[in-house]
């Protein structure tokens, strides 16, 4: 193992190691006493290629060749994780029977959110048992709307958040859990569970409030407002702060935007479109601001 250089900024160092991994160059990142971050290459045969890449990166970190480094590195890590999973299945132990948390698995808070959604789906019979769901809606559906959100005004603040756990139909919950698993785990791994918790809480409250404010209709639910917020955040943060390690492929961006438009047509029935739009807006704004602040940090 040999050191090829160092960075004063941790984010840039991690971005560069992502690029190396995307080129199948295994490296090690080490914190130094002067708060710099040194890059160590594990394979001596790859030293020259790594040094050449470092020279190009230091000269122009915005060069096109570095654009897809986080995405390619994430795919490489996923492939490694899948290889490891296959190996572990062959030598399965008692510990391996539990859900894997951390960098290559589902984030712990993401896992909890999915469990709560499944719990509510089971006991509400996928939204069919409205009596059971009365305490989960933003306001009691029997309330005519006057005054505005009376339960919340009298201290039942949880109603601003709990509609995200309500799902109507198997496709509804499967679609939302798929995106929650991917985006939530990515954000937890890169930014942390505490940030993720705050982000979900804010985006849930904003999207749920927007849906009720514009429709005055309480019978709505789903994680999709939060999902669009997560997607907006990852999209903007990854686009303007590549060192963040967050990314959303152009294909997924197109899928989410096309789905948003289709939902507005009414072809799929009653959809919480206002929650989708509010979630997307707050996510994009938050991601853009976070990227701006990250890029202004001293290098």
Interval 63-79: pLDDT, tens: 888 877 878 778 777 77
Interval 185-243: pLDDT, tens: 999 988 999 999 999 999 999 999 999 999 988 899 999 999 999 999 999 998 888 77
Q: What percent of the chain has pLDDT over 90?
A: 44
pLDDT score for 72: 79
pLDDT score for 58: 85
Query: Phi, psi at residue 36, to the nearest 5°?
Result: -90, 170
What is the C-alpha to C-alpha distance for residues 213 and 28, in angstroms, rounded to an integer?
A: 51
50-59, 67-76, 87-96, 99-108: least confident range: 87-96
Region 286-290: what's the mean pLDDT?
Answer: 95
Region 110-125: what's the mean pLDDT?
Answer: 96
Could you tell me how far CA 160 lies from the centroid of its own chain? 21
pLDDT score for 98: 40
Q: Is the pLDDT of residue 5 over 80?
A: yes
At 260, the pLDDT band (50, 70, 90 cuts) reads: very high
User: Which domains, ranges and CATH numbers included, belong to the chain?
Assistant: 1-97 (3.30.70.2350), 108-295 (1.20.1540.10)
Task: List C-alpha distances in Å: 41 to 168, 259, 278.
Answer: 51, 44, 45
Q: Which residues of 191-217 are buried (b: 16+ CB within 10 A; e: fewer)?
A: bebeebeebbebbbbbbbbbbbeeeee
pLDDT score for 88: 55
Q: Which of 72-81, 137-146, 189-198, 278-287 has the highest mean pLDDT?
A: 278-287
Residues tagged active-site: 224, 276
What is the C-alpha to C-alpha distance for residues 219 and 272, in angstroms, rounded to an integer?
A: 10
pLDDT score for 71: 80
What is the C-alpha to C-alpha distance for residues 39 and 63, in angstroms, rounded to an integer?
A: 20
Q: Would you put residue 149 in left (φ > 0), alpha (ψ -120 to 50) or beta? A: left
Q: In this predicted model, which residue has the larger pLDDT, 88 or 64? A: 64
């Amino acid at each position: 193992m040999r050191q090829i250089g160092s960075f004063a900024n941790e984010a840039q160092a991690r971005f560069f190691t992502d690029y190396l991994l995307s080129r199948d160059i295994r490296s090690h990142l080490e914190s130094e006493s002067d708060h710099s971050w040194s890059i160590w290459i594990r394979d001596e045969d790859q030293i020259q290629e790594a040094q050449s890449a470092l020279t190009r990166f230091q000269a122009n970190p915005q060069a096109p060749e570095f654009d897809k480094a986080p995405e390619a590195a994430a795919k490489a890590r996923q492939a490694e994780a899948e290889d490891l999973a296959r190996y572990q299945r062959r030598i399965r132990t008692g510990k391996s029977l539990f859900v894997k948390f951390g960098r290559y698995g589902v984030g712990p808070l993401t896992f909890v959110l999915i469990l709560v959604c499944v719990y509510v789906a089971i006991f509400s019979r996928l939204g069919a048992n409205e009596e059971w769901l009365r305490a989960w809606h933003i306001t009691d559906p029997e309330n005519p709307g006057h005054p505005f959100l009376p339960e919340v005004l009298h201290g039942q603040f949880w109603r601003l958040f709990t509609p995200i756990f309500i799902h109507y139909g198997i496709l509804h919950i499967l679609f939302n859990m798929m995106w929650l698993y991917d985006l939530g785990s990515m954000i937890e791994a890169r930014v942390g569970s505490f940030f993720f918790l705050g982000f979900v809480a804010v985006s849930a409250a904003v999207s749920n409030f927007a849906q009720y404010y514009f429709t005055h209709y309480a019978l709505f639910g789903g994680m999709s407002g939060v999902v669009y917020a997560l997607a907006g955040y990852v999209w903007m943060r990854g686009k303007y702060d590549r060192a963040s390690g967050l990314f959303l492929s152009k294909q997924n961006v197109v899928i989410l935007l096309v789905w948003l438009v289709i939902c507005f047509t009414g072809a799929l029935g009653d959809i919480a479109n206002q929650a989708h739009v509010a979630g997307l807006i707050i996510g994009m704004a938050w991601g853009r601001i976070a990227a701006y602040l990250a890029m202004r940090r001293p290098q």
